[in-house]
C-alpha cells in the first residue's frame, strides 16, 4: 500500500503559546493532515503513553484515514497501537523496531545525508525524514541545514518516499516540493500560528494546488 505523506504534522508542546500535544493534533486532524506524529521527548513514559492513547482515540474516531506515528519511542508506539514509529539516527535499529512492531508497521528514519538515507533504505525503512532543509529554531543545535541539493540527490538515489522537514513555511513550500519531496513535515509553522487549524488548512491547500499543477503539466 502506497504511503500518503503529503502533509505531516508533528504534534508537540508549545508552552509559549499554551498549546499541548492534543491541541496540535486536533488542529492537524481538522485541517486534513495526512500524518500526525506524536513527539513527546520530554514526557515520562506513563504520561507519553496516556497522550498517545488519547491521540489514537481521536484519530480512530475520524472517518478519514490518517497515519499515526510516534517519534523515537517504539514501546509507546506498540502500547498505544500506533501505525508505526519515526526513528532518529541514534534510536533503536530499524531491524529491532521491525521485529517488535511487525511487518506491517510504518517505520520512518531521519536522514541528514545521502549516506544515511541509503543506509536507512537498505535497512528496511518505509520512508525518510530528510532535514533540516533550512535553519529551524525548533532544533537550533542540529548543525548546518542540508539544503535542497541534498534533498534532490536523496530523492534521485532512493526508492522510498521522502518527507522534508526543517524551516519549511508558506514562502518556501513550493521550492521544497519542486525539489522532489513527497511530503512536508511542519512543527512551529503550526504550533506557533495564531490559528493552528487555519495554518494546517493552508498547507493542505498549497500542497494540493502544487500537485494539481504538476499533474496538468505532466
Question: In this structure, what DSSP letter does residue 169 have?
Answer: -
SS3 203: helix
- What distance in Å separates the CA atoms of residue 204 and residue 207, rounded to the nearest whole number? 5
Report pLDDT for 75. Answer: 97
* 167: pLDDT strictly greater than 70: yes
Q: Which one of 66, 110, 155, 204 is the catalytic residue?
A: 110
Q: Provide the β-strand partners of residue 19.
A: 14
Report pLDDT for 193. Answer: 96
Return the beta strands (E) in the chain as ranges.
7-11, 35-38, 67-71, 84-87, 106-111, 127-131, 162-165, 183-186
CA dihedral (115, 116, 120, 123) in degrees, to 10, reads 60
Report pLDDT for 136. Answer: 79
SS3 14: strand
Q: Which one of 54, 113, 119, 139 is the catalytic residue?
A: 139
Q: Give the pLDDT band (50/70/90) at residue 54.
A: very high
200 in Cβ contact with 30 (< 8 Å): yes
Predicted TM-score of the model (pTM) = 0.95
49 in Cβ contact with 77 (< 8 Å): no
Q: Which one of 39, 56, 66, 155 is the catalytic residue?
A: 39
Is 110 annotated in the active site? yes
Is 157 annotated in the active site? no
Reported as a single tens digit per residue, the pLDDT across 177-213 is: 999 999 999 999 999 999 999 999 999 999 999 999 9
Fold of 7-217: TIM Barrel (3.20.20)
Is 139 annotated in the active site? yes
Reported as a single tens digit per residue, the pLDDT across 1-48 is: 579 999 999 999 998 889 999 999 999 999 999 999 999 998 999 999
- Residue 201 neighbours by CB distance under 10 Å: 17
Report pLDDT for 138. Answer: 64
Report pLDDT for 200. Answer: 98
Amino acid at each position: 500500500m502506497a504511503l500518503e505523506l503529503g502533509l505531516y504534522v508533528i504534534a508537540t508542546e508549545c508552552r509559549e503559546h499554551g498549546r499541548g500535544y492534543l491541541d496540535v493534533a486536533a488542529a492537524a486532524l481538522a485541517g486534513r493532515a495526512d500524518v500526525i506524529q506524536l513527539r513527546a521527548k520530554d514526557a515520562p513514559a506513563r504520561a507519553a503513553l496516556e497522550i498517545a492513547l488519547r491521540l489514537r482515540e481521536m484519530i480512530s474516531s475520524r472517518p478519514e484515514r490518517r497515519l499515526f506515528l510516534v517519534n523515537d519511542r517504539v514501546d509507546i508506539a506498540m502500547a498505544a497501537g500506533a501505525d508505526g514509529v519515526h526513528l532518529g539516527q541514534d534510536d533503536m535499529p530499524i531491524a529491532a523496531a521491525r521485529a517488535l512492531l511487525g511487518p506491517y508497521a510504518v517505520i520512518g528514519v531521519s536522514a541528514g545525508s545521502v549516506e544515511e538515507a541509503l543506509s536507512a533504505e537498505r535497512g528496511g525503512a518505509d520512508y525518510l525524514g530528510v532535514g533540516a532543509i533550512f535553519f529551524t529554531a525548533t532544533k537550533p543545535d542540529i548543525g548546518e541545514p542540508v539544503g535542497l541539493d541534498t534533498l534532490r540527490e536523496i530523492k534521485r538515489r532512493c526508492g522510498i518516499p521522502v518527507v522534508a522537514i526543517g524551516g519549511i513555511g508558506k514562502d518556501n513550500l513550493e521550492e521544497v516540493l519542486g525539489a522532489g519531496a513527497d511530503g512536508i513535515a511542519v512543527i512551529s509553522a503550526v504550533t506557533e500560528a495564531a490559528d493552528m487549524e487555519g495554518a494546517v488548512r493552508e498547507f493542505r491547500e498549497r500542497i494540493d494546488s502544487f500537485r494539481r499543477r504538476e499533474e496538468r503539466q505532466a
